[in-house]
A and B are shown apart, each in its own frame.
Chain A
Amino acid sequence: QQQVKQSPQSLIVQKGGISIINCAYENTAFDYFPWYQQFPGKGPALLIAIRPDVSEKKEGRFTISFNKSAKQFSLHIMDSQPGDSATYFCAGYNDYKLSFGAGTTVTVRA
């Protein structure tokens, strides 16, 4: 039973467009919500993260929006570039363990 539900499974966006990935969680003990980016044949790498007492965090073209009452958070990729084409995973952290969503494959068309 996945503790973090992620959608959509895949999305295609034009260069310069906005990619939006949504996640929902049930475990209210999660105290840290990272996003990982994975390129084919490579391991995931931390992209950006947020704590539940913050509603938004922005790093460059990547923004996390967090809604604690709804137990939802999302990743926005602004001005999407072909180099952003990858699989993105949201996760929740509690008790030494990360619980990952199923992943979203983003394809940016030039």
Chain B
Amino acid sequence: NAGVTQTPKFQVLKTGQSMTLQCAQDMNHNSMYWYRQDPGMGLRLIYYSASEGTTDKGEVPNGYNVSRLNKREFSLRLESAAPSQTSVYFCASSEQPHSNQPQHFGDGTRLSIL
């Protein structure tokens, strides 16, 4: 059982380039999330999808777009990458968007923007 799978695991971009981070879950979860993790900042929510067909902004959405392609897949797109977007990106999923539903995380995508 793979859980939450993120691709790629590592990526280096130049400023201004675009890129899509992919995320897929095989747990039949309804809700999916994108976070970024920076030293001393913990994890900050970028966007989330409470259910298939819906997406909403989180704490730090500027410079990002998302697509809930189907129930399994939730992608994060950087249209014009900036050095400030250098971070580790985590995708997560939960059965329902409710407090008592644990979020299951992938192993992250390490993104460097030069």
Contact = CB atoms under 8 A, between A and B. Distances in A.
Contacts of B50: 96
Interface residues on B, range: 20 to 34
**Chain A contact residues: over half helix, strand or loop, or mixed?**
strand
Contacts of B100: 32, 49
Given A96-B48, A96-B56, A98-B45, A43 B40 contact: no
Contact of B40 (A41, A46, A102): A102
Interface in A1-50: 2, 4, 6, 9, 31-32, 34, 41-46, 49
Interface stretch (B12-20, B62-70, B71-79, B105-113): B105-113
Contacts of B41: 2, 102
B103 A46 contact: yes
Nearest to A9: B40
Q: List the 5 shortest-distance A-B pairs measured between CB atoms, nearest first.
A: A43-B105, A32-B99, A100-B42, A46-B102, A93-B99
30 contacts: A2-B41, A2-B42, A6-B42, A32-B99, A34-B102, A41-B107, A41-B108, A42-B108, A43-B90, A43-B92, A43-B106, A43-B108, A44-B90, A44-B105, A45-B104, A49-B102, A96-B48, A96-B50, A96-B97, A97-B48, A97-B58, A98-B45, A99-B45, A99-B59, A100-B42, A101-B42, A102-B41, A102-B42, A103-B40, A103-B42
